[in-house]
A and B are shown apart, each in its own frame.
Chain A
């Protein structure tokens, strides 16, 4: 039953080559569609990645581990949901056994007031391990001054916005007020060693980072709020998370864990928004390409009306005529998509290499050069879509061709 009509493919191919100008126009519209989808898809992907890695490497890490109940109640009574020294030790032992893990670092969160004598500003503070945090927070940039070192017991890094608001200089001493774990108020002196930029303005307006031991002294505690895990590869987040929860269960540790993805609400909002924009753009681009293809195919049908009459007279069925035009369209789709993919990859790499600087994204405080990823899923899906659109757009012209009345088609010679 299924035997191939070799001539159908040959005639369709020769017809593509026959009216070069028209075929070129059709190819061009498929190509433009494919290229723009690849470029936009690659740009969005690079933006997602930039945002993701920036969040991971400035604040979130890949995974965070907390005392059980921390995420539900911790914001009301943070002091009740700290990880104990013993738990930290246990977790460190477990985590250091995993090859995927780059490092593990503790943080103690606190909120407080910082005053320079005549004004006070509310701050969101972290007690950190400066050595490890320097590795984790590689996306944080130092604007002024120096990094924090463990030896600077009183040293503090402040967010850029906070630094400006305090009107302070590097080396100034300020007073930090915070409530202790048992509800009293305590104060310590801190010395500003540097101003930092995390990439997120909201955060920079409130951020204060001091040594963990200093923060623990301030709060009269030995505990930490969270342990932040940095992995070698973001793609392994889920795997490591699964492994760890298994290990915790085996060891009888009742802990909570969150991945960067669970913590990055803003990231997901942006991704959803851009996916929507991308989808809309895709529809418009494909629609325009489809119109152009349908138009050129319709012209081909009109031009070849007498030929259609002839082959029908020779015994070709309507189905055969339809297949002849759809085959032609799939060649155009295939060539157009292939050229579009090659051009798209070339342009994506060229634009990335050219390092054009992008305008600063909203809510961010750093600028980046434009990068366009060659996303293989986007590439093959777009190529397939290109072929599909060419064929779908040709269905109506092909149908028209198949329905021509034979004697009238022959007359128009």
Chain B
């Protein structure tokens, strides 16, 4: 079974009189364990594609299925649960909750499962232990009680990675996660994600940076909403 399956997916945006076609008839399958990089010029549709895969936006045409579940007929609540249970997100601007500590930020997505029916719901204490373990995995065990404004950009992005990891998602989506970091930090974040990939986590990336390409197991180039190139690479 494919982890991600897109069939003839199109997405349009209307701005005033203009209708921009951000994605055109995209067919795409992603397998478990891939380290897939989306590249392409600004405006080529990378973010649009990630948002659709992440169940944060709706297709105008076509079908998307995540882990075998079709998103099309789902209610907003069901899609929220797909995001919570199957997908991890890493954003360009980290998007940590400023009022919470690093540990609490990582614990937050787990807390969304306390509501009864969610699979894998666990107690506050267990959640805390999981969050701590995730922070250890990204090398931030010493910063658990720091607020985001007491952390560097690289550290914030590590917290964000821990937050994406902690729910043990099927797939982590990362939209230019290194764009706001200096190259040294960017390299080490990439190395961290690659290491996590080796431990079995599937990644889909959007990026401009070339050094990301070296890590990729597969590179897809977008242009004007179409797939221009889809290259498998030998795993680095």
On A, residues with C-beta under 8 Å from B are: 1-7, 10-11, 14-15, 18, 306-307, 309-320, 405-407, 410, 413
A232 to B141, CA, bound (A): 73
Closest to A306 in B: B95
Which 5 A-B pairs have CB atoms at the shortest separation, nearest pair first? A315-B84, A14-B99, A310-B95, A7-B111, A406-B56
Report whether A7 and B99 are in contact in the complex, using a CB–CB cutoff of 8 Å.
no
Residue ID in chain A nearest B58 by CB atoms = A405
Asked if B114 and A3 make an inter-chain contact with CB atoms under 8 angstroms apart, the answer reads: yes
Task: Report whether A315 and B85 are in contact in the complex, using a CB–CB cutoff of 8 Å.
Answer: yes
| 18 other A-B residue contacts (CB within 8 Å) besides A5-B112, A407-B57 | A4-B114, A5-B115, A11-B97, A11-B99, A18-B99, A313-B89, A313-B95, A314-B84, A314-B89, A314-B108, A315-B83, A315-B84, A315-B109, A315-B167, A316-B112, A317-B77, A407-B51, A410-B95
Kindly identify which residue among B97, B114, B124, B167 contacts A310, using a CB–CB cutoff of 8 Å.
Answer: B97
B114 touches which one: A5, A313, A318, A413 (CB < 8 A)?
A: A5
B143 at the interface (CB under 8 A from A): no
| B97 near A312: Cβ-Cβ < 8 Å | no
* Chain A residues positioned under 8 Å from B77 (CB to CB): 317-319
- Cβ of B107 within 8 Å of any chain A Cβ, yes or no, is yes
CA distance A3 to B117 in the complex (A): 10
Closest-CB distance, B147 to chain A (whole angstroms): 10
Q: Give every chain B residue within 8 A of A311 (Cβ-Cβ).
A: 97, 108
Q: Flag if A318 contacts B76 (CB, 8 Å).
A: yes
Q: Which residues of A contact B91 (CB under 8 A)?
A: 310, 313, 410
Tell whether B24 is near chain A: CB-to-CB under 8 Å: no
Residue from B56, B93, B116, B124 in contact with A312 in the complex, judged by beta carbons closer than 8 Å: B56
Majority DSSP secondary structure for residues of A touching B: helix
- Other-chain contact of A313, B56, B81, B100 (Cβ < 8 Å): B56
> How many angstroms from the CA of A14 to the CA of B98 in the assembled complex?
10
Asked whether B99 lies within 8 Å of A315 as measured between CB atoms, the reply is no
- Contact check, B57 vs A314: say whether CB atoms are below 8 A apart: no
Of the candidates B81, B96, B112, the one having the most CB atoms from chain A within 10 angstroms of its own CB is: B112
B80 on the interface (CB 8 Å rule)?
yes
Q: Establish whether residues A307 and B97, one from each chain, have CB atoms under 8 Å apart when the complex forms.
A: yes
Q: How far is the CA of A405 from the CA of B80 in the complex (A)?
A: 12
B113 closest partner in A (C-beta): A315
A-B residue pair count with CB separations less than 8 angstroms: 92
Residues of A within 8 A of B112 (CB): 5, 314-316, 320
- Nearest-neighbour CB distance to chain A for B151, whole angstroms, equals 16
7 example contacts (A-B, Cβ-Cβ < 8 A) are as follows: A3-B115, A306-B95, A312-B80, A314-B163, A315-B167, A317-B80, A405-B57
Residues of B with C-beta under 8 A to A317: 76-77, 80-81
Q: Which of B83, B85, B100, B111 contacts A5 (CB 8 A)?
A: B111
- Of residues 49 through 105 on chain B, the ones whose CB sits less than 8 Å from some CB of chain A are 51, 54, 56-57, 76-77, 80-81, 83-85, 89, 91, 93, 95-100, 104
Tell whether, in the assembled complex, residue A413 and residue B85 are in contact, meaning their CB atoms are under 8 Å apart.
no
Q: How far is the CA of A312 from the CA of B57 in the complex (A)?
A: 12
Q: Please give, as numbers and ranges, the residues of chain B lying within 8 Å of A307 by CB-CB distance.
A: 95, 97-98
B57 contacts across to A, CB distance below 8 A? 405-407
For the complex formed, measure the closest distance between the CB of B89 and the CB atoms of chain A, giving whole angstroms.
Answer: 5
B82 nearest CB neighbor, chain A only: A315
Of A3, A309, A405, most B-chain CB atoms within 10 Å: A3
Residues of A contacting B95 with CB < 8 Å? Answer: 306-307, 309-310, 313, 410, 413
- Chain A contacts for B116, CB-based, 8 A: 1-3
